[in-house]
């Protein structure tokens, strides 16, 4: 894919664990919408995944499944660059160079390192610490203008911008300075059982917290019927009603309604009927996605071919940037 007049978006998603409803609403669904307006580079970031120990065969399988899910969700891998991060060596090359321009103090302040260190105390590795540098390399390698992020990822964008500006000040105009593209509705879907916490695919302790894109309809409905609500009986979006507010956010994202429209629709409804309606909206939204996902997985020849082709397209897109960076720091051709 060559340069276009459209702004370029980059984003990545890890293949460790199946995407959740939160990933779908906050990332995948919006990526599909953004792909109609922007030039898009979307990465299955399998290199990021190995900061936590992975089963190799499982990681390979989940990476292919993630690729198929992105395509099933409406991100056309023939029109946009959708690829595996590990297939483009320039990510690791640029991460090393940027790591030499990133300060220890900056990395030690990253909240994600603190969170992951607490969850994986037996494996606090250097990759976990330098993870934000690789993320910066992912973005800057493709000269991205915009990076769709949730509120919890803003710190990574700020670090990316700081490192890019530092590098540009030293060596000239090498990198585009990216902007975070914050999605207003559905950017942060919370746990169904603990609505004060973000829904996370790494939350394996309580399966009721998380809705997976590949959950069968009956399991989805069961999880929503058991979802935590709040005191009172009114369906209202408010700070003192985190459970109901989360369900309203999900319903709005699934149906295309605004929060006020959803509130009006459920005025006078009991929580039981409200939770069932939210569950049904998720089941209906996921049905065509699941069918297309299963069709793509059954066509392994197509998947293998398009994954190989997109690895080449991503490498070609990254090549001018990594070449300029190497020249800038003094590496010989």
Residues designated as active site: 116, 198, 201
What six digits make up the tokens of 144? 């991205």
d(CA 103, CA 121): 23
Question: Cα(287)–Cα(284) distance, rounded to whole angstroms?
Answer: 5
DSSP state of 283: H
Dump the DSSP string for 228-276.
Answer: ---SSS-----TT-HHHHHHHHHHHHHH---HHHHHHHTTT--HHHHHH
Give the number of residues written for the chain.
Answer: 333
Tell me the helices (H) and strands (E) count for the chain, helix number first: 14, 5
Task: Calculate the alpha carbon distances from 142 to 1, 235, 243 in Å.
Answer: 11, 44, 39
Neighbours of 83 (CB within 10 A): 27
Cross-strand bridge partners of residue 190: 198
| Euclidean distance between CA atoms 272 and 184, whole angstroms | 27
Cα 36 from Cα 76, distance rounded (Å) = 10
- The CA distance from 21 to 303, in Å, is 24
- Given a contact cutoff of 8 angstroms between Cβ atoms, the answer to whether 246 and 199 are in contact is no
Which helix (H) or strand (E) segment holds residue 147: the answer is strand 146-149
């Amino acid at each position: 894919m060559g340069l276009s007049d459209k702004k370029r978006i980059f984003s990545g998603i890890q293949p460790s664990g199946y995407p959740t409803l939160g990933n779908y609403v906050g990332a995948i669904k919006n990526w599909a919408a953004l792909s109609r307006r922007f030039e898009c580079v979307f990465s299955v970031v399998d290199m990021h995944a190995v900061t936590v120990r992975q089963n190799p065969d499982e990681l390979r399988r989940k990476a292919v499944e993630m690729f198929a899910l992105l395509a099933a969700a409406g991100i056309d891998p023939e029109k946009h660059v959708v690829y595996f991060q590990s297939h483009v060596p320039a990510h690791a090359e640029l991460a090393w160079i940027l790591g030499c321009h990133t300060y220890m103090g900056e990395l030690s302040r990253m909240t994600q390192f603190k969170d992951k260190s607490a969850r994986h105390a037996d494996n606090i590795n250097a990759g976990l610490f330098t993870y934000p540098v690789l993320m910066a390399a992912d973005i800057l390698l493709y000269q991205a203008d915009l990076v769709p992020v949730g509120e919890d990822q803003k710190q990574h964008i700020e670090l990316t911008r700081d490192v890019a500006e530092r590098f540009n000040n030293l060596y000239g105009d090498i990198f585009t300075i990216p902007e975070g593209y914050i999605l207003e509705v559905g950017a942060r879907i919370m746990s169904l059982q603990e609505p004060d916490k973000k829904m996370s695919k790494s939350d394996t302790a309580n399966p009721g917290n998380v809705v997976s894109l590949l959950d069968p309809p009956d399991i989805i409905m069961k999880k929503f019927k058991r979802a935590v609500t709040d005191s009172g009986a009114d369906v209202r979006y408010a700070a003192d009603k985190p459970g109901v507010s989360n369900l309203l956010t999900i319903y709005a994202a699934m149906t295309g309604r605004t929060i006020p429209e959803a509130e009006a629709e459920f005025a006078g409804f009991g929580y039981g009927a409200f939770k069932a309606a939210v569950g049904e909206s998720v089941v209906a939204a996921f049905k065509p996605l699941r069918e297309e996902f299963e069709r793509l997985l059954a066509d392994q020849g197509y998947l293998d071919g398009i994954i190989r082709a997109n690895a080449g397209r991503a490498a070609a897109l990254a090549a001018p940037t990594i070449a300029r960076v190497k020249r800038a720091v003094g590496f010989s051709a």
